[in-house]
Chains A and B, each alone.
Chain A
Amino acid sequence: MKQVYRRPHSLKKAPFHYCPGCGHSIAHRVIAEVIDEMNLQDKVIGIPPPGCSVFAYHYFDVDMVESAHGRGAAVATGIKRAFPQAIVFTYQGDGDLAAIGTAETIHAANRGERITAIFINNAVYGMTGGQMAPTTLLSQKTTTTPYGRSAQLEGYPLKISEMLALVKGTVYIERTAVSSPANIMKTKKAVRKAFQTQIDDLGFSLVEILSPCPVNWKMAPLEAWQWIEKEMTKEFPLGVIKDVTGK
């Protein structure tokens, strides 16, 4: 009988601890499938952040090093400069990449570091209990914007991917979502292209993945998927934001 579905080799035989409906598990699986298909399992070094995905090293069967909050791009830079043959990816949330780690991210991108950032945008700080993130939508309620995010008091959702597109060292940036089977397939394609960009030594690549956080959004999983497609994509439209790979 032909096997059509199995656990990717790049995922350990460990059950995910993520909440029901969380997007991390899907993103993990997509990345692992790409690593398998591109035959990169023995070349990849992954960098998970503090946060819900801090235990990513219990799931990915590749070399991994935990980063301090927001410093993923700097840690990735150090690894890649010390050992350029590695395929290095950071796995970062919105607070990590677009708040505390903004400087590290922008400057690594500007240097054109040959690294790939997987940027999980779920519009909240997940592990700490659903506080406002830089990507929280206007009027979205979080534990620190209990009356809804107000532009006057809390500013606007930060479009870090669009900002990074202006930086010359970035080569490929795409925003996808894990909110439907079709979008999951697009995410996989984007992750593959981002890794290929790094293999081809072209520059900095980033895939922003809109990802559901049903628990902190106080929604059922299906409702969370729908909220991504109806609300989040208005502020964060899906698609290729920058591609100068020439491919």
Chain B
Amino acid sequence: MPRILLSGNSAIGEGAIRAGCQCYFGYPITPQNELTEYMATHLSRRKGCSFIQAESELSAINMVYGASVAGVRVMTSSSSPGISLKQEGISYLAACQLPAVIVNMSRGGPGLGSISATQSDYFQSTRGGGHGDYRTIVLAPSSVQELADLTHRAFDLADRYLIPVIILGDSMLGQMMEPVEFHHEVPRRLPVRDQALRGAHGRASRFVKTFTSKPTELEEINWSLFRRYRLIEKKETTCESSLVDDAELVVVAFGIAARIAKGAIRKARSNGLKVGLLRPVTLWPFPSEQVKKTAARTKHFLVFEMNMGQMVEDVKLALDGAGEVGFYGRPGGVIPTPSEVFRVVSREYYQRGLSIER
């Protein structure tokens, strides 16, 4: 298939349709409206598919819950304040072990915040987000192509592990246009998921529920969730590393911040500074092993995020004292340039007395 120019939001929409997404329920909020509009244009009239502009994010996520119960691939999208509202439904999806894809084209917070790009929803995304003891898989793309690819992967992961999957982007990723290539055709018809509720035809009736009056039963449910989470950690943790082999300083960044960091690292390399990059693609499960392994080569880390320091906690937990971790963050929707990050990287590099290639 030829490469086409698409915005990040549209690329998710097209990626979702090609992954066999049959239902999409959304609610307007900037900066993800193009995705809702894409689904209104391209999904709503498709045979066997459904699009609803819901009356609220709460309704949208509960429609997602219903469609997932009925066994089809389903997606919703929103941005930070709307994602907060969806947390009720995400908790229920997690409890019922129902697959769904939830896109967060995040924006500045707290409160209504701003519509500019930030990464301040890292904690909310990677710690479950709603009430109760659960996790969601969190994918953090850093280009439009990766948005398209990870959207497909998100549906596969959701079905394989019966878990809600969050795609955590930001307004910059959602809005920018890049060439993108899709590797899948729209599937003719996907099989209905096992255990879907479609009426007790030719089988005993069954039910999907979260409530129990027995703490021991709930404890077992939580244990079984976390057994699956251990499996996901083992099998699905993904991290990109670049120029790490000879690096004396390793920058850890995700999403659009990693893209900015790459520019900074290129500049650093051309100045003889041996700087590499670790970019977690799955924020949960977090690539703790990769971070730890990197510490066998160098002790020097710099975490760069567009927030006041959230992923940096996971880096420190992963290193468990085995590395020296610096942090640089810009909150509020300010997008630093590669030159700015380069200045921070080189200052850190010199202050730590690391060797320079001449």
Residues of A within 8 A of B (CB): 41-45, 50, 54, 57, 60-68, 71, 74-83, 85-87, 103-104, 106-107, 111
Mark each residue of chain B from 47 to 73: 1 if its CB lies under 8 Å from any CB of chain A, else 0: 000101011101110111111111110
CB distance from B335 to the nearest CB of A (A): 36
When A71-B59, A86-B70, A107-B55 are in contact, do A78 and B65 touch as well, CB less than 8 Å? Answer: yes
Whether B156 is near chain A, meaning CB under 8 Å from some CB there, is no
Bound complex: CA of A171 vs CA of B209, how far in Å?
Answer: 30
B217 to chain A, nearest CB (A): 13
- CB proximity of A71 to chain B, nearest CB, Å: 4
Q: For residue A104, which residues in chain B have a CB less than 8 angstroms away from its CB?
A: 55, 58-59, 62
Contacts of B206 in A (CB 8 A): 63
Residue of B whose beta carbon sits closest to that of A61: B205
Contact B64 A62 (CB under 8 A): no
B201/A103 in contact, CB under 8 A: no
Enumerate chain B residues within 8 angstroms of A44, measured Cβ to Cβ. Answer: 199
Q: Are A82 and B74 in contact (CB under 8 A)?
A: yes
- The verdict on A77 contacting B208 (CB below 8 Å), with A62-B199, A62-B200 known, is no
| CB–CB B207/A67 < 8 A | no
The listed residue (A66, A71, A74) touching B210 by CB distance below 8 A is A66
A sample of 14 inter-chain contacts (CB < 8 A) reads A41-B200, A42-B200, A44-B199, A57-B207, A60-B205, A63-B206, A68-B65, A79-B67, A79-B69, A79-B197, A81-B67, A82-B67, A82-B72, A103-B56
Query: Contact check: which of A42, A66, A82, A103 meets B71 at CB < 8 Å?
Result: A82
CA distance A62 to B200 in the complex (A): 6
Are B66 and A74 touching (Cβ within 8 A)?
yes
B146 at the interface (CB under 8 A from A): no
Q: Given the complex, which residues of B lie within 8 Å of A50, measured CB to CB?
A: 211
A42, A60, A107: the one within 8 Å of B201 (CB)? A42
The CB with the most chain B CB atoms within 10 A, among A61, A80, A82, A111, is that of: A82
Whole-angstrom distance between the alpha carbons of A57 and B211 in the complex? 11
B282 at the interface (CB under 8 A from A): no
- How many pairs of residues, A versus B, come closer than 8 Å at their CB atoms? 136
Is A65 within 8 A of B211, CB to CB?
no
- Most chain B beta-carbon contacts within 10 A, residue among A50, A65, A85, A111: A65
Query: Does residue B342 face the partner (Cβ distance < 8 Å to A)?
Result: no
Shortest C-beta distance, A34 to chain B (Å), equals 16
Please give, as numbers and ranges, the residues of chain A lying within 8 Å of B174 by CB-CB distance.
Answer: none
| Least Cβ–Cβ distance between B4 and chain A, in angstroms | 29
Q: Which residues of B contact A (CB under 8 A)?
A: 22-23, 25, 50, 52, 54-56, 58-60, 62-72, 74, 88-89, 92, 96, 197-202, 205-211
The prevalent SS among residues of B at the interface is mixed
Cβ-defined contact, A74 with B23, below 8 A: no
Question: Distance (Å) between the CB of B64 and the closest chain A CB?
Answer: 6
Chain B residue nearest in CB terms to A56: B207
Whether B72 contacts A64 by the Cβ 8 Å rule is no
Q: Is the CB of B68 within 8 A of A78?
A: yes
In the complex formed, the residue of B with least CB distance to A46 is: B207
- Given A74-B58, A107-B54: A65 in contact with B67 (beta carbons within 8 A): no
- Smallest beta-carbon distance A210→chain B, Å: 26
Q: Collect the chain B residues with CB atoms within 8 Å of residue A107's CB.
A: 54-55, 59
Check if A45 sits within 8 Å of B88, measured CB to CB. Answer: no
User: How far, in whole Å, are A66 and B197 apart by their CA atoms in the complex?
Assistant: 12
- Looking at B70, B88, B206, which has the most chain A CB atoms within 10 Å of its CB? B70
Please report the C-alpha to C-alpha distance between residue A68 and residue B201 in the assembled complex, in whole angstroms. Answer: 26
Q: Chain B residues near A75: list those with CB within 8 A.
A: 62-63, 65-66, 69
The answer on a CB contact under 8 Å between B50 and A82 is: yes
* B20 nearest CB across to chain A (Å): 13
A61 surroundings in chain B (CB, below 8 A): 200, 205
B201→A77 contact, CB < 8 A: no
- The answer to whether B70 touches A82 (Cβ under 8 A) is yes
Given contacts A45-B199, A79-B67, A82-B70, contact A71 B205 (CB under 8 A): no
Inter-chain contact B211/A74, CB cutoff 8 Å: no
Q: How far is the CA of A105 from the CA of B211 in the complex (A)?
A: 23
B60: nearest chain-A partner, CB-CB = A74
Q: Which residues of A contact B63 (CB under 8 A)?
A: 74-75, 77-78, 81
A77 to B65, CA, bound (A): 10
- Other-chain contact of B62, A42, A43, A62, A67 (Cβ < 8 Å): A67
Which of A65, A74, A87, A106 is within 8 Å of B207, CB to CB?
A65
Tell whether, in the assembled complex, residue A62 and residue B205 are in contact, meaning their CB atoms are under 8 Å apart: yes
Alpha-carbon distance A140/B165, docked complex (angstroms): 47
Nearest residue, chain A, Cβ from B206: A63
Residue numbers in B under 8 Å from A71 (CB-CB):
58-59, 62, 65, 88-89
